[in-house]
Structure 1
Amino acid sequence: MNVIAAVKSYVNKMNEESEPGMKVLLMDKETTSIISMVYGQSEIQQKEVFLLERIDSPNYANSTGLRYLKCLVFLRPTQQNIQALCLELRNPKYGAYYIYFSNIIAKADIKILAEHDEQEVVKEVQEFYMDYLAVNPHLFSIGLPTCMFSGNWNPSALQRTVQGIVSVLLSLKKCPTIRYQANSDACKILGQRIDEVLNKESSLFSFGQNSQSMLLILDRRDDPMTPLLNQWTYQAMVHELLTINNNRVNLSNVPGIPKEMSEVVLSAEQDGFYARNIFMNYGEMGTSIKQLMDQFQTKAKSHQKIESIADMKNFVEAYPQFKKLSGNVAKHVTVVGELSSMVNKYNLLDVSEVEQEISSQTDHSAHLQSIKKLINNDKVRDIDAAKLVMLYALRYQNHSNNDVKSLISLLKKRGVSDTLLKNTVNILEYAGSHARQSDLFNVENAVKITKRFIKGLSGVDNVYTQHKPVLHETLEEIVRGRLKEQLYPYIGSSYNNGRYQDIIIFIVGGATYEESLTVHSFNKMNSPTFNVLLGGTTIHNSASFLQEVEQAMKNVERTHTRHIRNVTFD
């Protein structure tokens, strides 16, 4: 189950099925993101694609077009896109149109398009199921920054999520058993809506003999700790500290950054160094960057001797690779340099040590003192100070000596923003013990911690890698065939004694790169017996997760946090 390979195969098929010759690729905002996640612009242009256009761009509406070019159309089947395409076909800019929709399209919409194709320029209409963002081979996102409002599904986000998951299933040719987290209405509703589509479109899902597959729908609220923690593997760390948006990282705010480095692309498909180091931890990244620099310097030196025509020819042939390598060196040195600067500037090693201890151990008095000390440290960022209080509030919510009030008072005294203060309350209302099905802080933790110290990642002191997401335990239960039906009920009547080979896990409220690492490690150990694919409404870092929490808690009555509400909002 490789979502990047699935999307790439559709793009290749799209290009191969049209007639040879120069083409235009016409997309919308979302399908542009879908394709850019797996292909760079130069790679697309190598497939005889002369122009990339956006149907929703005002500039495109006013352009004249080139009738001798063929047009590959890749759009989401929305009403807005259908209307725009009708206008396009009534006055076609190009000689022939090959139309591909990213998901199931209604027969009525195809009829409307046919009626507008008065000049008979449409050569083909097909459904190519790539209505999601393929982030890593085992990770996909629907691309929704938030999905809940006032404690319930935002209706448009629910519809978009159903469409995204359905397209994942179709692209991978899976018709799975659906299970969901029992205490989550959001998971149940999503599961039911997907099941309705599977039944309605049963002919599309009749894949014949298929491996046993399961779609397991989980709620972000069951594990609020994971998205709050600082991260120490390359991809996760970049997202936490700099933010990755559709494989792009904005560095324009970095002091003294060269113009060409103001935005960089981090794509494992187009960047071998990134592919090799995506799950490497911070300690190992320094060694990897040094090796990349040495490799570059060796190649740079070898090209200084050009004494003959043959030397020139060899140089020219090697130059594109040389240029690419030099760009890669500069990019990763810049990114890792900025990460290193932020780690030192904001005391992130000290912050992370306390975060990890709170998430993995129980020592109320020591944790309280450590948090107070860091709140009073001027080098620590406001968001890190507030997150420490949130982690404390979650772990010690029911502790007899809970002192979250004094910690919030210290945050107020420090001058932390009202938004962060409110989120210390929101997080408990959103994902406190009343909202969780799993026990985040079970009594087996001491045993697990001992194992983690032994099995921890090399290169970074194990103190920074103690935490394991709840998803880790869930996967262990699946392997043992012990996923309890009362905790994860079935939708529909597909039972198979709980034994599955292909497992698609979807997290309502967003997945994280730490969970992606968990799945990657699990697949390495258990493939081909088990193959896990992870998806989420979005891929969170701590800042985006807190926006999700804030949106979900708007207009929700605070029934579980009245005891700390006054100290926050007075």
Structure 2
Amino acid sequence: MDLFQAVSGYVTRMVTAGDSSVGTGGLSSGSSLPSSVSAKMKILLLDRETVPIVSTAVTQSALLNHEVYLIDRLDNAGREKMRHLRCYCFVRPSAEAIQQLVEELRDPRYGEYNLFFSNVVKKSSMERLAEADDHEVVKRVQEYFADFVVINPDLFSLDFSIRGRMGSAKNSNSPITHVWGASPDAWNADALQRSTEGVLAALLALKKKPLIRYARSSLLAKKLATEVRYRIAQEEQQLFDFRPVDTPPILLIVDRREDPITPLLTQWTYQAMVHQMFGIHNGRVDLQADGDGNGDGDNSNNNNSSSDPASGLRETVLSQDQDPFFKRNMFLNFGDLGSNVKEYVEQFQARHKNNENLESISDMKRFVEEYPEFRKLSGNVSKHVHLISELSRRVNDENLLEVSECEQSIVCNDNHAADLKTIQKLIQSPTVSSAHKVGLVALYALRYEKQPQSGTTVAMLVELLTAAGGVPSWQADLVAKLLAYEHSLQHRSGGGAGGDDGAGGGGGIAEIFESSGIFGGGAKALRGLKGVDNVYTMHSPLLETTLHSLVKGRLREQQYPFVDGGGATRDKPQDIIVFAIGGTTYEEAKAVAGLNASTPGVRIVLGGTTVHNATSFWDEIDSAVSSWPEPPPNTTAGRLRKELGRRWKEGGRKHDRRKQAPGTRAQLTRADPLDGHVSPQRLATMLRLTRRTTRAATETNGCGWGRSQTAAAVSTSAAMPQLPRSWILARRRQDAARPVLLSAAAVWRRPGSLTRSLSDNSSPSRRENIYTVPNMLTVARLAAAPFVGYCILHDMPGTALGLLAAAGVSDLLDGWIARRWQLRTVVGSIIDPMADKVLMTVLAVSLAAEGGLPLWLAALILGRDAGLAIAAVYYRWVSLPPPKTLARYWDFSLPSAEVRPTTISKYNTFLQLALMATTTAAPVAASAGLDLATGLTAMQYVVAGTTVWSGLSYVYSKDAVKILSQDRTGSKSK
């Protein structure tokens, strides 16, 4: 079961299809094809998802051996017409790729087309392609099941692009961005379909029809197992008509949430280290990237040789198929790797020394013949020396030896007091990165969640991350999200899916730490590389234990049942395909390779939605848990969030008390202890005290304050000696009382509203809830605009009219809901006209492109809207209270300016939409015998006039734009 051979064999058959003699070997064969058919040059077209599939399996020089002289993307619209080329097109049968092929066949650029798909093509898609092939250029259509990215011979990935704040998806080509849906037990529909197709493609490439087992604790695993079983039994039954075998293969579907420990640990094998620190994307390593997500600048002053352009190694390729040294050392630890690279350098130096002694013609001939191999060896040595030096630098600069030792102690030992002390020390270390600090606290939270007072201790560590560790609050919050992620499995939340002895026994994360192999083994001293010693590698992933049990026939059905109706067996399997929902890791790939090497007769292949390092794993947790409901309060995550909220609330009160001066003002700013509501009695007292304070300030004399006189008042008096000191002090008292009066008045008008502490005057603008139903309807109207334009440009006027009608109904509905239930927001006042303008822009551009709207009118409408947009950007910036930052600028829960559409603007919007709708409906009316040309012309001139009028109304109206201010809420600005 070699995935490299399977995919490279597929590509060989693709690019040699139609040649007079097709070699049976792989693409590495250099056989020429002298026939006139094969002499015609070829171009290979790929889509964005098949580019990594082909690039990781074959090289460009190997493709050149089969006359493939050009490789391009199908979505590249700038390709030239070259009718002398034969086109070999390999794409996924997705809707996007099918549409691109249809457009390509309608206007072919090449002499003939051979179409190859990486998975099963729908009948409807084939019919569309047949209808588009008017020029009859398609010579062949075939399915080759290479619908996955090969990484190792026994490791593949679906290359899901996990996007998040730590920036892990810089080079991913997959359109799938997340696995989970709106709950922990729900798939993202696109991810489920892609995972099903990827697993089926891997089975077909390996020619296996397996029995399917899945992790009982995961509803996602059960759903995927059921979908794969249904497709095998119903839709693709003929494809899986393989020869029966005595021992059926096993497809094992697991869930990443069963073992959240492994992706968080510091890695010490070559391939895993490179992926952890820099990231390996489709076999390429960007040495300027930061795989750990250390964007905190801890090591910004370090010397980074990878940034030197002269080194020529900003980006390099790691492929065991083309790099023998990497193939031999990819699973070795860092110390053994140091010894081997020394030997590699010495071997190169010996070859180099021999090449310097050229004393005869035969020596020169030998040198010329060996020079390509010598140059390749030279580049390979330089690459690995540079990589290992970068890894060694990162290990030293980020104190990874001590960090890793602490990680291994947490997951492999039971030494709570020592671990807690070490974590506190490392959190306060300036050399340890933010990602590693968060990782240590997360491992502690998982390991000691059943420890007494664990919630309080973890909350203390999370506070320490932000207070002393320099970790942003959103990154520290990942600890609670990890706990919610791990507890989202059924048996973590006490679902009891597996009974007392199964996975659902409720043992929680302790089952991972207590599994066989975790406590086994000892410390390995890494040797051979100066400065690298005593790094612990005791941890074994949970998958290794699971596979050991499966190979021995001891994997319990209570934990991993067979899918219903798919059959069962008690035989020891020989061929095993493992698929990890939520991604796998290179540490688990190493365990699989070790089992393959140490267990004769057993072949295991590992796959997953992606291959994680710590950065991508944190990003997936962040994006997934953010879309889930809040964790139940009886879980560890729920208790941690409650404890953190209590601590932050107490910290805020202490901070407020430290800011307050003794006396009357402290009484004024003390908030109610229970829920933050201000009672009318409390409000009356506050108003009386405020009036008393103001009156005292106006009546005080120069000695009235006595010892309570502040330094700020003294300095102000010294700066303005011409003013009486009593006037200055009274003015300061009034300024201090004004915010209290304003806040009290606001509460009096809305006595049931929840208010913030009256002493909190540090925030320049109050936040509002922007997640309301009217705002959601407006956002939906925004999202529908591109689809309206697509329908118009593709001659679908009926669909476009339907979408326009829905947009109009939503426009009326969101305004009615906002008025009926008092859900008006400043953001809504901005995005509601923005949605109308976006829709109007899309309609104007698409209708003008189709010739339904005069160009001068489209330019007038778009010019007016562009001017208003520029004005909105300007007013947002000038009205934003200090500090003026980009983060606050784009935080629309901080309102600063309110736009009020003028009356003529509302009429103009209605007329514009009516004109666009009528223009869109004109082709439908023409087919029914109605001529709207005269009416459309009249409407166009009317709309032109109202457009100019409405634009001028914003310039001269005093009520069009209102600048919101905390001190002067009534101020308006034109």
Change (3 A) 1:166 1:450: closer
* 1:283 equivalent in structure 2: 335
Whether the 8 Å contact between 1:148 and 1:548 is mirrored in structure 2 is: no
Taking structure 2 as the reference length, the TM-score comes to 0.56
* 1:316 equivalent in structure 2: 368
CA distance in structure 1 between the aligned counterparts of 2:485 and 2:93, rounded to whole angstroms: 34
Instruction: After TM superposition, give the deviation of residue 518 of structure 1 in Å.
Output: 0.7
* 1:15 equivalent in structure 2: 15
Given candidates 418, 431, 434, the residue that maps to 2:492 is 434
CA distance in structure 1 between the aligned counterparts of 2:642 and 2:309, rounded to whole angstroms: 48
Instruction: After TM superposition, give the deviation of residue 563 of structure 1 in Å.
Output: 2.4
CA distance in structure 2 between the aligned counterparts of 1:509 and 1:203, rounded to whole angstroms: 30
| Stretch moving more, 350-359 or 440-449 | 440-449
CA distance in structure 1 between the aligned counterparts of 2:612 and 2:117, rounded to whole angstroms: 28
Whether the 8 Å contact between 1:132 and 1:140 is mirrored in structure 2 is: yes
DSSP 3-state at the match of 1:103: coil
* 1:94 equivalent in structure 2: 110
CA distance in structure 2 between the aligned counterparts of 1:555 and 1:290, rounded to whole angstroms: 49
CA distance in structure 2 between the aligned counterparts of 1:362 and 1:343, rounded to whole angstroms: 26
* 1:241 equivalent in structure 2: 277
* 2:641 equivalent in structure 1: 565
Residue by residue, what CA displacement relative to the aligned partner does 1:511-540 show, whole Å, maximum 9, x if unpaired? Answer: 000000111111111131x21111110000
Instruction: After TM superposition, give the deviation of residue 320 of structure 1 in Å.
Output: 1.4
Amino acid at match of 2:570: N
Whether the 8 Å contact between 2:446 and 2:509 is mirrored in structure 1 is: no
Whether the 8 Å contact between 2:274 and 2:280 is mirrored in structure 1 is: yes
CA distance in structure 1 between the aligned counterparts of 2:362 and 2:279, rounded to whole angstroms: 46
Given candidates 509, 516, 521, the residue that maps to 1:452 is 521
1:370 to 2:422 alignment: yes
Change (3 A) 1:445 1:197: closer
Residue by residue, what CA displacement relative to the aligned partner does 1:8-31 show, whole Å, maximum 9, x if unpaired? Answer: 111111122232232111101111
Whether the 8 Å contact between 1:231 and 1:237 is mirrored in structure 2 is: yes
Which protein has the larger Cα radius of gyration, Structure 1 or Structure 2? 2
CA distance in structure 1 between the aligned counterparts of 2:261 and 2:151, rounded to whole angstroms: 22
Instruction: After TM superposition, give the deviation of residue 116 of structure 1 in Å.
Output: 2.0
Matches within 5 A, 1:215-294: 215-252=251-288, 254-255=304-305, 256-258=307-309, 260-294=312-346
Whether the 8 Å contact between 2:264 and 2:613 is mirrored in structure 1 is: yes
CA distance in structure 2 between the aligned counterparts of 1:41 and 1:356, rounded to whole angstroms: 42
Supply the RMSD in Å over aligned alpha carbons. Answer: 2.1
Whether the 8 Å contact between 1:139 and 1:534 is mirrored in structure 2 is: yes
Whether the 8 Å contact between 2:263 and 2:617 is mirrored in structure 1 is: yes
Instruction: After TM superposition, give the deviation of residue 465 of structure 1 in Å.
Output: 1.1
CA distance in structure 2 between the aligned counterparts of 1:518 and 1:344, rounded to whole angstroms: 27
Matches within 5 A, 1:502-541: 502-528=575-601, 530-541=602-613
Instruction: After TM superposition, give the deviation of residue 118 of structure 1 in Å.
Output: 2.3
Given candidates 107, 112, 127, the residue that maps to 2:143 is 127
Instruction: After TM superposition, give the deviation of residue 567 of structure 1 in Å.
Output: 5.4
Instruction: After TM superposition, give the deviation of residue 40 of structure 1 in Å.
Output: 2.3
Whether the 8 Å contact between 1:421 and 1:568 is mirrored in structure 2 is: no
Change (3 A) 1:300 1:378: same
CA distance in structure 2 between the aligned counterparts of 1:225 and 1:245, rounded to whole angstroms: 22
1:191 to 2:225 alignment: yes
Change (3 A) 1:350 1:89: same
| Stretch moving more, 269-278 or 398-407 | 398-407
DSSP 3-state at the match of 1:209: coil
CA distance in structure 2 between the aligned counterparts of 1:131 and 1:554, rounded to whole angstroms: 30
* 1:407 equivalent in structure 2: 461
CA distance in structure 1 between the aligned counterparts of 2:515 and 2:319, rounded to whole angstroms: 38
Higher-RCO chain (CA-CA 8 Å, sequence separation at least 6): 1
Amino acid at match of 1:14: M
Residue by residue, what CA displacement relative to the aligned partner does 1:297-317 show, whole Å, maximum 9, x if unpaired? Answer: 122222223344443332222
Amino acid at match of 1:182: R
Given candidates 29, 34, 37, the residue that maps to 2:53 is 34
CA distance in structure 2 between the aligned counterparts of 1:64 and 1:427, rounded to whole angstroms: 50
| Stretch moving more, 126-135 or 201-210 | 201-210
Change (3 A) 1:567 1:345: farther
CA distance in structure 2 between the aligned counterparts of 1:446 and 1:524, rounded to whole angstroms: 23
Whether the 8 Å contact between 1:149 and 1:551 is mirrored in structure 2 is: no
Whether the 8 Å contact between 2:45 and 2:73 is mirrored in structure 1 is: yes
Instruction: After TM superposition, give the deviation of residue 43 of structure 1 in Å.
Output: 2.4
Change (3 A) 1:448 1:469: closer
Given candidates 487, 490, 494, the residue that maps to 2:559 is 487
Instruction: After TM superposition, give the deviation of residue 447 of structure 1 in Å.
Output: 7.9
Task: In structure 1, list runs of 5 or more residues that go unmatched.
Answer: none
Whether the 8 Å contact between 1:148 and 1:551 is mirrored in structure 2 is: no
* 2:755 equivalent in structure 1: none
Identity %: 41
Report the count of equivalent residues.
565
Whether the 8 Å contact between 1:39 and 1:270 is mirrored in structure 2 is: no
| Stretch moving more, 531-540 or 91-100 | 91-100
Matches within 5 A, 1:174-189: 174-189=208-223
1:342 to 2:400 alignment: no
Residue by residue, what CA displacement relative to the aligned partner does 1:404-450 show, whole Å, maximum 9, x if unpaired? Answer: 11111110112201232111000101114726757654599598466
Whether the 8 Å contact between 1:149 and 1:554 is mirrored in structure 2 is: no
CA distance in structure 2 between the aligned counterparts of 1:300 and 1:568, rounded to whole angstroms: 63
Residue by residue, what CA displacement relative to the aligned partner does 1:113-159 show, whole Å, maximum 9, x if unpaired? Answer: 22222222222111000000111011110101331243232211111
Instruction: After TM superposition, give the deviation of residue 44 of structure 1 in Å.
Output: 2.1
Whether the 8 Å contact between 2:518 and 2:540 is mirrored in structure 1 is: no
Change (3 A) 1:568 1:291: farther
CA distance in structure 2 between the aligned counterparts of 1:404 and 1:266, rounded to whole angstroms: 40
CA distance in structure 2 between the aligned counterparts of 1:493 and 1:39, rounded to whole angstroms: 36
Instruction: After TM superposition, give the deviation of residue 92 of structure 1 in Å.
Output: 1.8
Amino acid at match of 2:549: E
DSSP 3-state at the match of 1:148: coil
Instruction: After TM superposition, give the deviation of residue 77 of structure 1 in Å.
Output: 0.6
* 2:626 equivalent in structure 1: 554
CA distance in structure 1 between the aligned counterparts of 2:597 and 2:371, rounded to whole angstroms: 36
CA distance in structure 2 between the aligned counterparts of 1:321 and 1:158, rounded to whole angstroms: 46
